[in-house]
Structure 1
């Protein structure tokens, strides 16, 4: 398959942002990541999927990171070829949320929209979400 208008097989983006560890940071992240991906002519549905999953990762970082050494969340974006990889890092220790029937679906939501990896260390948790930016034609 050849690259379409505005698409490059060698597309490469590497950038990142730091946000306060507050729920409102998810909205700012969506604006920043969407703007960074705009030049790649990515499939709008793929971008939306990535943003939903990343918003959930930020919300989890804000809610579950305890005693953070820094009250911030770092978001990194790397695009190589047709694949975007977004990482969300907090600087606290993990705390399980209280069990509830209407909560606890965040990881499943992220997994529905991309390939998800989680790494927990004493210095914080990093969630990485990977998603293709252009779906193949049917």
Structure 2
């Protein structure tokens, strides 16, 4: 009988080792795919940055045909700044000072928290739970793990 228990323990250990190796291999494969995808996104972003710089240069040179160089550079900078501002506005879910649902939060703290996507405190229900008087705490169920158990 002791021999069977030893075999069972050995079998469980082998199964656990095979499961660990399988999970490790799967995670390694997923990590490799994610790393490749991240490198492709980074390369794409770098090329987009260079393309934007070339476009800004082309706009500046086109403006420089009829304007002084400094004015062409200034106009190109203003165009890029406006484009950045518009893109930033499009990326935000709501304007500062508004809650995600579109309701205005009170005061500056509300505006800061709306921009952060949260409220300063959890919402309060309009009425107490059924069967409890206002200002009292409802009793905990007997199977609540936080209730201390006293042994006699």
TM-score, reference length from structure 2:
0.25
Q: Point out which structure has higher relative CO (alpha carbons under 8 A, 6+ apart).
A: 1
Higher helix share: 2
